[in-house]
Amino acid sequence: TDHNHTFLAGLTSTVSESMRVARASVAIALLFAVACAAEAKKEADVTDLHIGVKHRPKECARKTKAGDAVSMHYSGYLTDGTKFDSSVDRGQPFDFTLGQGQVIQGWDQGLTNMCIGEKRKLKIPPHMGYGDRGAGGKIGPGATLIFDVELLNIK
């Protein structure tokens, strides 16, 4: 019976250790999943316009304002990194009048006070982009949009 007792004690110890390892593994997996979800959510949950200046020229004789005819290069992305449009890829700058509703609201607001040669990253919430209707086949309803933009000229 001492042999059985020793065997059972060893088996209990082994099972107990296996359970601790399994619980630790589950805890680590859950923490990883939560961290990944939080990271993905951070990019997708933009509720306000975010304007990041990537490059600002040293000299700036004039900044953009509403009513200016501007020429831009841009690349547009969804929050998962999918590129949906790019004037750079087409080799054709995009021209429009700023602040006149010719472009999405995120652009009208996010491209003001720019210098020629300045580069920005815009994170545009759905209500300042295409909202619940989306656009074309690539931009779904409620999409947060991310644009890398460069002001080429003020005309």
DSSP secondary structure string for all residues of 10-31 = HHHHHHHHHHHHHHHHHHHHHH
Which among 51, 68, 74, 124 is annotated as catalytic? 74
Three-state SS at 121? strand
Instruction: Write down the catalytic residue from 84, 94, 96, 154.
Output: 84
Among residues 51, 104, 124, 146, the one annotated as catalytic is 104
Residue 23 token pair: 């619980």
Structure tokens at 59: 């000299």
Which tokens sit at 50?
A: 């975010």
147 is catalytic: yes
Catalytic residue (choose from 77, 116, 124, 130):
130
| Burial of 111 per CB tally in 10 Å (0-12, 13-18, 19+) | buried
Instruction: Point out the catalytic residue in the list 68, 85, 108, 148.
Output: 85
Q: Is 85 a catalytic residue?
A: yes
Question: If we measure between CA atoms, which residue out of 66, 86, 63 comes closest to residue 149?
Answer: 86
What residues are annotated to the active site? 74, 84-85, 104, 130, 147
